[in-house]
Structure 1
Amino acid sequence: MRGMGNMQGMMKKMQKMQKEMMEAQEALNAQLFEGAAGGGMVKVVMNGQRQMLEVNLDESVVDPEDIEMLQDLIVIATNEALKKVEETTNSTMGKFTQGMNLPF
């Protein structure tokens, strides 16, 4: 019978950890991440779900003669924002999966 108490305790710990993980994921999803390029002339804002919410362009970066530069700056800013999302996700959710080798 002693093993049943240990099992119940383990199940309670797992439920608590699952609840904490869900709360952390919800907070992460609501968090905003900004990437910038061209000295801040191009800015991209994403949420923790990796959804792009905003693209802000300084008028001086919009040159009809050089669309490729603007495209490059948008890609750079987007990738920077995604990198911030990934780093924050790994540090936030990683504490729950340490040693388990689980994807999230």
Structure 2
Amino acid sequence: MAKGFNMGGMNRNQMMAQARKMQEQLLAAQQKASETEVTASAGGGSVKVTATGDMRITSLTIDPEAVDPEDVEMLQDMVLAAVNDALSSAEQMASQQMSALTGGLNIPGLF
């Protein structure tokens, strides 16, 4: 059996070590994203939603003055808008963190 092949000056052991290091960095970035929160609001701040980089809603706040029994649809629309904005911001934040680590490479399944 050959003693490791040479790919651009790297032997197999160096490549494996580098792959392990990158995997550890990716896991750390995923952990950081899951702990980082973003907040979005709708209706002039009447509805606020906080989400993490792993797409979990951690907080939903509704100003009591936004609750109008005669116009539930508006409140529903504000909640929906705030949730969608928070999730979009969380996804963008996580993508930026991963892109910084991967040098802009799009690696499927990371986020």
State the partner residue of 1:3. 5
Higher helix share: 1
Measure, in 1, the Cα distance between the counterparts of 2:44 and 2:4. Answer: 64
Q: Specify whether residues 22 and 68 from structure 1 end up closer, same or farther in structure 2 by C-alpha distance, changes over 3 A only.
A: same
Superposed displacement of residue 99, structure 1 = 3.8
Superposed displacement of residue 22, structure 1 = 0.3
Name the Cα RMSD after superposition.
1.8
Residue 5 of structure 2 aligns to a residue whose secondary structure is: helix
| Fraction of identical pairs, as percent | 32
Please give the residue correspondences for 1:64-79 in structure 2 after superposition, counting only pairs within 5 Å: 64-79=69-84
Which residue identity does 2:68 align to in structure 1?
Answer: D
State the partner residue of 2:109. 103
Paired residues, what number? 104
Please give the residue correspondences for 1:12-91 in structure 2 after superposition, counting only pairs within 5 Å: 12-91=17-96
Q: TM-score, normalised to structure 2's length?
A: 0.83
For structure 1, the 5+ residue unaligned runs are none
Q: Specify whether residues 54 and 22 from structure 1 end up closer, same or farther in structure 2 by C-alpha distance, changes over 3 A only.
A: same
Which residue identity does 2:55 align to in structure 1?
Answer: R
Which residue identity does 1:96 align to in structure 2?
Answer: T
Q: Specify whether residues 2 and 55 from structure 1 end up closer, same or farther in structure 2 by C-alpha distance, changes over 3 A only.
A: closer
Structure scoring higher RCO (CA < 8 A, sep ≥ 6) equals 1
For structure 2, the 5+ residue unaligned runs are none
